[in-house]
Chain A
Amino acid sequence: MASDGGSSSLQLPCVFSPKSRQYLAVCAQDGRLRIWNTDSKTINQEYVPSAHLSATCTCIAWGPCRTVKEGPQRKKRKSEAVQVEEKADLLAMGTAAGSVLLYSTAKGTLHCSLDEAHSAGVNCVHWHPEDSVLYSGSDDTNIVEWDLQSGKMRSKWKADRAAVTSLCVSPDGKLLLSAGHVIKMWDLDTKELYRKFTGHSTAVTTLRFATTRPPDSNGLYFVSGAAHDRLISVWQVREDGKDKNSVVSFTLTDEPRHVDLVPSNSKEEAVRLAVVCQDGQLHLFEHFLNGPCKKPFSPSCSVQMADTRESPMPIPMLAAVLGRDSRSVLLAYGNHLQPVIEQVEVNTTERHVCLSRDVKTSLSLTMESTVSKVKTPVVNTKSKVLVPGLPGHQAPLKGSHLEKASEKRKKDTKEMSIAEQLGEIDLSATSSEKVKASLQTDNYAVLLVQGLESNDADILNKVLQTRKEMVIKKTVARLPLSAVLPLVKELTNRLQGHPFAGILMVRWLKAVLMHHTSYLASLPDLVTELGVLYHMIESRVKMFHKLTKLHGKLYLLMTHVATSDSSNMVSEVDHTAKLVYEDESSDENEASGDEVLPEEDSDHWEEEEGMEEDKQSSEEEDEGNRTEPKANGEEDMEHENESEEE
């Protein structure tokens, strides 16, 4: 749960605001955008970009910092210039439905929405560092340039044969990098292709310029990271055009998820790179970019994080940004729903650093009380909220011509079936107030009623095999009265089977009996309706007594076998000791003449024992001897029980 297993399939965007790092924007699994204040470590704003999960936010980018005046002034996060009063305000979000949303943190509302340019999901958004221009790349293979003054599309061009997965504008704002099948560099003035770089076989997820401004002609570098690739490649843009291969590569332990980079302004300044990998580790690199180097670099420092329990579990890191000096790093770790933000000083002389932190793994949703500005979901009027309860509706299809564009590379994470969407919804998290707001909570009840009406085994299995107690209770509580008796009948059928399945059904039955007591009791033909169930249970429970005894018997035997297995060789010693004890006791307590026989018996026994030991000390004999006294004891027990019964 805590180590967000879902993120392997889809990358959840998680970005720090530029410059002052005052905010962390996280888009979590539940489709909400949360903005955390890094100083107070509290949630600052919450926003739901869309009402349904098929149009979740796929990428976020903070706009350049703005002063009170209109118009962006500084570029994003790369500049080292000090200007304290500037605040990051606008946040661009690309959605899976193909629209780009601009969210204003100052106003706390949606600033505007940029629609109708992409026919498929947006993969990446990137701000121009100086002009109020935004670039977005999409699954439909196009790049769109947006004019933010007017909120209109300025130009649009086909960038690649495959989906555009990543974008980056150069610090001077003249060049644009895009990644599809190959990495392409565009001249932004003419929108013409400037360079092509081939090297990654999988989708490129990260692109960053590593140098601000080319001091000389060959000084422009950029880095790239791709899905399933355990390295970051550095590319040099050379004047002579001989830049086919990457010049340097940095090795990672897993595929990169979040990359932060402090670019170098001159040849003498090292590039600093912080990479958070899929496995939750942070790697720090420092490198002087001066031409190619064959050998891949390993990180100058790797940081891991573990919790403080007895058997430490790793805590995944979500994002990291480098501070001004080489040692401080701002980290976000833990769960996407509730990340922990911390400023850490890393000792870069050591190659491996492991930090231990106490993170509450259980989610406390009470955090929301401290929220300063939580916004209710803004549902686009055009978008249609689909309720699974209505029959015969289709899955949401905003871009219906989507299949045409996505012939080459299909995204399998976009459309979800109703069953999967149901799986996403955790009923246990919904409080009673929320029931009215979101219609989707009573899905299971609707599904169950449908299943009972049409007697569909698939649906019934899906619903009835839930293990969550809460879901069962809520579903039963919402069940219409007409469906109660069919459900009881269905449960009666299912109770007859194996105990593994039966245990789940009993939970349902109990919930039904508890929630609908008065309804059931008011039925005039209650006895006939529930009689079958009653007799079925009764006939099954009849053997409870005997079964318990059998189980006890078996338990005793098996535990003894287990102990004898564990102490193979020692058991011999034990054994002899026991026998000696018995001898003595019989001698001391009953010294009468009657007890000659047992004495002989025991003597005889010991002789035998000795002989056996002489012959062979295998376990077989050993166990044969050991189990006999046990069996006697058991018979005694049985007799006792029987006498009790009678």
Chain B
Amino acid sequence: MASYKPTNIPVYPKLGEKVTEETLYWKNYKTPIQIKEFGAVSNIHFSPVTPYNFAVTAFTRIHLYGLLSQEPVKTFTRFKDTAYCGRFRSDGQLLVAGCEDSVVRLFDVSGKVALRMFKGHTKAVHVTDFTSDRYQILTGSDDYTCCLWDIPNSAQLNTYQEHTDYIRCGVTSQLNRDLFVTGSYDHSLKVFDARVDKSVMTINHGHPVESLLLYPSEGLLVSAGGRYVRVWDLLKGGQPLVSLKNHHKTVTCLALSSNGQRLLSGSLDRHVKVYNTTSYKVVHNFDYPAAILSLALAPEDESIVVGMTNSILSIKHRKPSEEAKETAGHQRRRPSYRVYAHRKSYVPKQDDYLVSKPVRQHLAKYDKQLKKFNVSKALDTALETWIRGRKPEITVAVIRELDRRGTLKNALAGRDEQELSRLLSFLIANLVDARFAPVLITAAEMILDIYQSIIGQSPVVDKQLLHLQSLLERELDYQKDLLEVLGMLDTMFASSLPKIELPCSGISTSNGLPQGQSTASRPQVQVN
């Protein structure tokens, strides 16, 4: 007995939009949780130890949030003025922050009052960080100086006065306790070595430097300032490696994904761009509602936290991965699986006559109806709201199948006003789609043939027909324009005719369109 063949739903590639693994990976986040802070969120820093709390510096406060909590688990409010750059020490025990009143404060994460106050700068301190040996603090200030402080004695160890403008960013090396880099509004980056009391390397970024980032290997340094993100090779003496210009406003923050393969940059133009660190191409793009000031990624890219100028903190959590889901499903199904396990493990011997159990075919609703030759019902099921809204290709495929069988007319006929208007609205929505047009035009002609006698009886249907008519008018105008463009392109291709033979066959395969179309186009090109 010949089995029923389900309707073939063709897959239509959409031109231009590429779905890569990257976009799938970065799209796999839940809708953001938005938390209103007291002012612009100037810095976000994740604690390096579990449970990976993060410190959010906004206005005169630093809030500590748990990875999944939406309420701050702890708040530091002992600032006289705007706080800046709250950062954890590598053991997650201490937190340091600068302030507009030029005092640097050191907090115990579990305490409330500052453990140490480092006074010595004369202007706002925007940069603070711990050195890798955990006993010293680096600070950079608007008084053009950067300092090293000793935590146990709360004493100033050294001051560097090499920059000629505000220092707004800085990082310490995680591998060498004496090395740190600062970036300033005087357009320069300076690499300092605490052992020699002066800078060992100066790099010109070309714009006021807003953010710095060291690769985990510390061979590469990334700087952001103006509209540019630049990557420098420190081992080659600060040789510029890449310059990226993908934002249209100042880039304010940088982050590195957990495996070091992707670089993220946030900008005042409200975008976060994700770069591949091998090719330095933009692989993904996030949109945010306001200018972005700060950005941080949780370990394992579990969440993306972004702080904006409108004092909103946006947290995106990664959706639980599908593997996790599957394992959960397996656990539930395990008992029944165990029952059948031994049967499956049975290996047939050579002499056994094997009777394969017919695989039960699962049919979609419309296929079931088609199988029973209920053509009208098949069309009805294919026209169900969610199918025609989300997957018009299914509806179109069913219509094509009906047409192939020659029963489309029957399926379309004998409908009342409501069903007819549903059909028409589907036509209006999809008729101009080039992928569906061939099938739908025949259907539309049939509908007109069948129902021409009742035109004028129902205002609803009449309105939709008028709508369809105006849509067609538009489409025709549009296609006329397109034909003109086609003519222009032909002329243009013709002018570069000598080179055309080889690359042309290249395109026909590369853009995934059926071969017939490209071959149809080629003669035209050559004629012109």
A residues contacting B by CB (< 8 A) are 391-392, 450-451, 453-457, 459, 489, 492-493, 495-496, 498-500, 502-503, 506-507, 509-510, 513-514, 517, 520-521, 523-528, 530-544, 546-551, 553-555, 557-558, 561, 564-565, 619-620, 623-624, 627-628, 630-631
CA distance A555 to B468 in the complex (A): 10
| Chain B contact patch, size range | 35 or more
In the complex, chain B residues whose CB is within 8 Å of the CB of A503: 474, 477-478, 481
Q: In the bound complex, do residue B479 and residue A540 qualify as a contact, i.e. CB atoms below 8 Å apart?
A: yes
In the complex, chain B residues whose CB is within 8 Å of the CB of A530: 489, 492-493
In the complex, chain A residues whose CB is within 8 Å of the CB of B456: 561, 564-565, 619, 623, 627
In the complex, chain B residues whose CB is within 8 Å of the CB of A451: 248
Q: In the bound complex, do residue B437 and residue A547 qualify as a contact, i.e. CB atoms below 8 Å apart?
A: yes
Q: Does B510 contact A (CB under 8 A)?
A: yes
Closest to B472 in A: A551
Query: Which of these, A499, A500, A506, contacts B485 with CB under 8 Å?
Result: A506
The minimal Cβ–Cβ distance linking A572 to chain B, given in whole angstroms, is: 15
25 A–B pairs (Cβ distance < 8 Å), ordered by A: A392-B249, A453-B245, A459-B248, A493-B16, A499-B478, A510-B484, A521-B496, A527-B496, A527-B500, A528-B503, A531-B507, A535-B507, A535-B518, A535-B521, A539-B434, A542-B434, A542-B437, A547-B437, A547-B476, A550-B441, A554-B465, A557-B455, A558-B466, A623-B457, A631-B449
Q: In the bound complex, do residue B472 and residue A525 qualify as a contact, i.e. CB atoms below 8 Å apart?
A: no
Map CB proximity to A onto B480-506 as digits: 1 under 8 Å, 0 otherwise: 011111101100110110011001101
Closest to B208 in A: A392
B residues contacting A by CB (< 8 A) are 14-17, 226-227, 245-250, 267-271, 273, 282, 285, 287, 432, 434, 437-438, 441, 444-445, 448-449, 452-453, 455-457, 462, 465-466, 468-469, 471-479, 481-486, 488-489, 492-493, 495-496, 499-500, 503-504, 506-507, 510-511, 513, 517-518, 520-521
Q: Known: A535-B517, A541-B482, A557-B465. Contact between A513 and B271, CB under 8 A? A: no
The minimal Cβ–Cβ distance linking B19 to chain A, given in whole angstroms, is: 14
Q: Known: A493-B17, A510-B485, A534-B486. Contact between A499 and B432, CB under 8 A? A: yes
CA distance A558 to B461 in the complex (A): 11
Query: Which of these, A493, A527, A540, contacts B507 with CB under 8 Å?
Result: A527
In the complex, chain A residues whose CB is within 8 Å of the CB of B453: 623-624, 627-628, 631
Q: Known: A533-B489, A554-B448. Contact between A540 and B496, CB under 8 A? A: no
Interface majority SS (helix, strand, loop, mixed), chain B: helix
Q: In the bound complex, do residue B518 and residue A546 qualify as a contact, i.e. CB atoms below 8 Å apart?
A: no
In the complex, chain A residues whose CB is within 8 Å of the CB of B496: 521, 523, 526-527
Q: In the bound complex, do residue A528 and residue B285 qualify as a contact, i.e. CB atoms below 8 Å apart?
A: no
The minimal Cβ–Cβ distance linking A330 to chain B, given in whole angstroms, is: 51
Q: In the bound complex, do residue A544 and residue B511 qualify as a contact, i.e. CB atoms below 8 Å apart?
A: no
The minimal Cβ–Cβ distance linking A40 to chain B, given in whole angstroms, is: 49
In the complex, chain B residues whose CB is within 8 Å of the CB of A547: 437, 441, 472, 475-476, 479
In the complex, chain A residues whose CB is within 8 Å of the CB of B445: 549-550, 553
Q: Known: A499-B475, A499-B478. Contact between A520 and B517, CB under 8 A? A: no
Q: Known: A513-B492, A521-B496, A557-B465. Contact between A506 and B481, CB under 8 A? A: yes
In the complex, chain B residues whose CB is within 8 Å of the CB of A542: 434, 437-438
CA distance A496 to B433 in the complex (A): 8
In the complex, chain A residues whose CB is within 8 Å of the CB of B504: 527, 531
In the complex, chain B residues whose CB is within 8 Å of the CB of A517: 492
CA distance A523 to B16 in the complex (A): 20
CA distance A493 to B14 in the complex (A): 9
Q: Known: A531-B507, A539-B513, A558-B465. Contact between A509 and B475, CB under 8 A? A: no
Q: In the bound complex, do residue A454 and residue B503 qualify as a contact, i.e. CB atoms below 8 Å apart?
A: no
Query: Which of these, A456, A489, A499, A523, contacts B248 with CB under 8 Å?
Result: A456
The minimal Cβ–Cβ distance linking B292 to chain A, given in whole angstroms, is: 12
In the complex, chain A residues whose CB is within 8 Å of the CB of B15: 492-493, 496, 532, 536
CA distance A382 to B421 in the complex (A): 66
CA distance A509 to B452 in the complex (A): 40
CA distance A554 to B475 in the complex (A): 14
In the complex, chain A residues whose CB is within 8 Å of the CB of B438: 542-543, 546
Q: In the bound complex, do residue A391 and residue B249 qualify as a contact, i.e. CB atoms below 8 Å apart?
A: yes
Closest to B493 in A: A527
Query: Which of these, B14, B247, B449, contacts A453 with CB under 8 Å?
Result: B247
Leading 7 A-B pairs by shortest Cβ distance:
A450-B248, A531-B507, A499-B478, A540-B434, A551-B472, A493-B16, A506-B481
In the complex, chain A residues whose CB is within 8 Å of the CB of B492: 513, 517, 520-521, 526, 530
Closest to B442 in A: A546
Query: Which of these, A506, A523, A531, A557, contacts B482 with CB under 8 Å?
Result: A506
